[in-house]
A and B are shown apart, each in its own frame.
Chain A
Amino acid sequence: MKSGSNLEKILCSGKFAVTAELGPPRGAERSIIEKKAEMLKGYGDAFNITDCQTAVVRMSSIAAGRIVIDAGVEPIIQMTCRDRNRIAIQSDLLGAAALGAKNVLCLTGDHQKFGDHPMAKGVFDIDSIQLIQIVKALRDEKQFQCGQELKAEEPRFFIGAAENPFADPFKYRAVRLAKKIRAGADFIQTQIIYNVKKFKEWMKMVTDMGLHEKAYILAGVAPLKSKGMAKHMKNNVPGMDVPDEVMDRMTAAAEAKKGKEEGIKICLEVIEQVREIKGVAGVHIMAVEWEEAVPEIVKQAGLHPRPSTEN
C-alpha cells in the first residue's frame, strides 16, 4: 500500500470505485461541510474536496478535508498550481498529510481569469505533471523538490491526476496521460463525459498503450440540472464536449419541466456505458453544487452499498 487510503484499497482489490465531489463553501461555516459529508457518507469511496474551483475563493481544500475526515468520510484533497509556488505546495502537502489526508489530486488549476479575482497574479511555478513528481518524490524518495532529503516522516499520498479526453490535440491526450502516469499518478479522474463515443476512442488508445494497467482510470460523470446548465457546459466550460443529442434531450425535458430527472437519467446511462469499457476502474461523479443528487445516482446505478475495506 502506498497510502493505505480507502480508495487505494478499493481500487487495488479490483472493485469498481466510486468517487464524488464535495465543494467547500464560500464562507467559514464548518456545518455546511459536515452536512454535505453526512449526506454523501457511504455513497462513495472517497470524495474530492475542490481547491478554489474555477478560481473562485472558497474554504481551503485541506481545511475542509480535515472537517470531512472528522465526519467519517475520506477526502481526496485537490491541489492546484495556480495559487502557490513549490514552497507553499510542499508545505501544504506536509500539512495535509499531518491532518490525516491520504489522497491528493494534482491539478494545474483553472486560470484565474475565470474566477472572482481575475486581477490576481497566477503563480504556475510548476505544472500538474511536475506536481505529481513532487508528491511522488516526497513519498517514495523522501526528497524535496530542491533535492534535499526529507529527514522526518514523509507524506504518503495516493496520487491522483486529471485528464481531459475531449481536449485537443486529441491524439496527444493519451500520450499526456502516459506522462502523468510516468510522473507518478496512481489514479486518474477524467473530465466529465457526455460524448461516450469519443471517450471510448480515447480509452482504446489508453488501453493499447497499457496505461490502464499502470494506473486506475475513473470516468468522470456529472448530472445536468437543466437545459441552461447543458448550454453553459457546452459553450462556456473549457474543454467540455456536450453532443447535440444530449442538448436535444435536455431541451425536450425542459419543456416537460423534467430537466433534473432527465439529467440524472443521462448520467446513469453514461455510467452504465462507461462501466462496460475496458480499462475503466470506477466513476467520479461531479455534481457541482448539487451533491444531493449523488446518493440517488449511486443507488440507481447499483453501486450502493459501497464495499467495506475494514478488516
Chain B
Amino acid sequence: MIVADSKPFHEIEQMLSEFKKVYIVGCGSCVTICHTGGEKQVAELAAKIRLTAKLKGKSIEVIEDSILRQCEWEFIEEVKNVVEDCDAVLSLACGIGVQYMAERFPNVRVFPGVNTTFMGGPTEQGVFWERCAGCGNCIIGTTGGLCPVSRCAKSLLNGPCGGSQNGKCEVSQETPCVWNQIYDQLDTQQLLSTMENIVPPKDWRTGAENHPRKMVLEHLVMKK
C-alpha cells in the first residue's frame, strides 16, 4: 500500500486561509488503511478547521466526503457537482489522488492534505515500514524475499556494510539491518552460499531515475 503521513495542521490552515468553501475529501484505499486519509480523518480535520476558524473569528464552510479511490476517473466523476461548487479541495489521498483531482477539476484549487511517504505496510498496530522502492526490476527472489533496495539505507546489493551490528542498521538503532535479516533467512533456507555471488551494478533505468515511467498493456489499449 501507499503510506502517507498527515500534514502539520498549521500548513493546512495556511493553504486554506483564503477560501470560504472547502471540500475535504478522503480516499477509501491505502490512506484509509494507514489512518491518515480516510473518512474518520476527514471528519477530524474538518472539525479542527471549523473550530480554528471560529476561534479566529473567520467563517469557512467545510464539506466532508470520501470516495473509494481518487486514482480512478469514474470515482472522481461522482463528486463533480460538489467540487465545482467549492473554492478549494483538500484531498487526503496520496499524491496520485491529489493529482487526479487537480487534473479533473482545473478551475478549482486542489491542495494535498497528507505527505505521501512510501510504499510499505503496517508491521504492528500503528507502525508502518517501507517495503518497496518501485525500482522496476525486482530481485527479492534472490534475497530471501526481503528488499535491500528499499530497506537498506545505502541500497547495497552485495551484503551488509561495516555498520551492521547486533542486527541493527548503523543509521538508526530502530532500523533492522535488512542484510542481517537476508542472511538469517538464506541461512534458514540453506541458501547461504548464494551470498558469495557478486551482484553487478544495477540497471536503474526501470526505476525512479527514469521518471515519469509509463506502462502500456497493448491488449487493453483501445485502438483508435
Interface of A toward B, CB cutoff 8 Å: 81-82, 86, 108-111, 113, 122, 124-130, 133-134, 145, 162-164, 166-169, 172, 175-176, 178-179, 182-183, 191, 238-239
Contacts and interface: CB of A to CB of B under 8 A. Distances in A.
Contacts, number: 94
B153 interface: yes
Interface string B185-199: 000000000011011
Interface of B: 153-167, 170-171, 177, 180, 183-184, 195-196, 198-201, 204
Contact of B160 (A113, A172, A183): A172
A311 B177 CA distance: 50
A175 B160 contact: no
Nearest to A169: B183
Given A81-B154, A169-B184, 8 more contacts: A108-B161, A124-B154, A128-B161, A130-B199, A164-B163, A166-B165, A178-B196, A179-B196
B206 to A, nearest CB: 14
A175 B196 contact: yes
A145 B203 CA distance: 11
A122 B165 CA distance: 21
Contact of A168 (B160, B196, B198, B201): B160
A127 B157 contact: yes
A179 B198 contact: yes
Contacts of A169: 160, 164, 180, 183-184
A145 B154 contact: no
Of the listed residues A82, A176, A191, the one surrounded by the most CB atoms of chain B closer than 10 A to its CB is: A176
B196 to A, nearest CB: 6
A133 B163 CA distance: 22
B196 A167 contact: no
A162 B162 contact: yes
Report, nearest first, the 8 A-B pairs whose CB atoms are least far apart.
A164-B162, A238-B170, A238-B163, A129-B158, A239-B162, A130-B201, A127-B156, A124-B154
Given A133-B198, A167-B165, A175-B196, A125 B160 contact: no
A130 B162 contact: no
A183 B158 CA distance: 11
A108 B156 contact: yes
A134 B155 CA distance: 18
B1 to A, nearest CB: 25
B115 to A, nearest CB: 16
A124 B209 CA distance: 13
Given A162-B162, A172-B159, A239-B170, A126 B154 contact: no
Given A111-B170, A168-B180, A175-B195, A130 B157 contact: yes
A168 B165 contact: yes
A183 B157 CA distance: 14
A179 B200 contact: no
Contacts of A168: 160, 164-167, 177, 180
